[in-house]
């Protein structure tokens, strides 16, 4: 079973990796694929780094991590990244694979507004991350909820730290911090 954890990853941080690992353990996943969006429909024009930079940082974050890889299906398509299109492309490419779509509660709250939302559970099992004390949406599209630790790291905060000249140590994997510095990412206010 392959878990798909999508997002902007702008930039990837330890919170993303921890929930991916917890999901892999809780669901018995063979693999977790991190799926960077070329352009999230609900965040059009708001990405701080290019899709190529975000994918490169993901590659660095999972290098040598067993059970994790980067899925570039959304980067290979022009235009907004719609989950239903990605799932169809993966199903076409890997017809015998079983996919699990991993969503945070915030994304799941908007799930019914996604393009062709009713089709998504036909293409992948939808699993939502529940954090202690945070509300979890209810929807017939969601198959299961799993508990994950509440990790107070956000990409927004990481980008703010960069703009303020503060350290990213322990916020993101060290190779990601080095990449951000080397490529002078997130210095301009977004």
- Per-residue pLDDT tens, the chain, 190 aa: give them: 999 999 999 999 999 999 999 999 999 999 999 999 988 765 655 678 999 999 999 999 999 999 999 999 999 988 888 999 999 999 999 999 999 999 998 889 999 999 999 999 999 999 999 887 778 888 999 999 999 998 889 999 999 999 999 999 999 999 999 999 999 999 987 5
The answer to whether residue 189 is domain-embedded is no
Distance CA 87, CA 90 (A): 5
The answer to whether residue 134 is domain-embedded is yes
CB atoms within 10 A of CB 95: 7
The answer to whether residue 187 is domain-embedded is no
Residue 70, SS3 per DSSP: strand
The answer to whether residue 57 is domain-embedded is yes
- Tokens representing 49? 């780094």
What CATH number is attached to the domain comprising 148?
A: 3.40.50.620
Distance CA 120, CA 125 (A): 8
The answer to whether residue 190 is domain-embedded is no
- Count of domains observed in the chain: 1
Domain encompassing residue 19: 2-182
pLDDT in tens, 87-143: 999 999 999 999 999 999 888 999 999 999 999 999 999 999 988 777 888 899 999
Which one, of 12, 42, 47, 28, lies nearest residue 144 by Cα?
28
């Amino acid at each position: 079973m392959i878990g798909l954890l999508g997002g902007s990853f702008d930039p990837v941080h330890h919170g993303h990796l921890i929930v991916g690992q917890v999901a892999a353990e809780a669901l018995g996943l063979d693999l977790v694929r991190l799926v960077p969006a070329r352009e999230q429909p609900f965040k059009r024009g708001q990405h701080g780094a290019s899709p190529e930079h975000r994918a490169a940082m993901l590659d660095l974050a999972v290098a040598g991590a067993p059970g994790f890889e980067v899925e570039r299906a959304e980067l290979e398509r022009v235009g907004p990244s719609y989950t239903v299109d990605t799932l169809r492309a993966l199903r076409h490419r890997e017809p015998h694979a079983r996919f699990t779509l991993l969503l945070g509660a915030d994304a799941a709250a908007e799930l019914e507004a996604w393009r062709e939302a009713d089709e998504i559970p036909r293409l992948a099992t939808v699993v939502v991350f529940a954090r202690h004390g945070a509300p979890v949406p209810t929807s017939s599209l969601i198959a299961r909820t799993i508990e994950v630790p509440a990790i107070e790291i956000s990409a927004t905060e990481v980008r703010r730290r960069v703009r303020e000249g503060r350290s990213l140590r322990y916020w993101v994997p060290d190779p990601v911090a080095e990449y951000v510095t080397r490529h002078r990412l997130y210095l301009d206010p977004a």
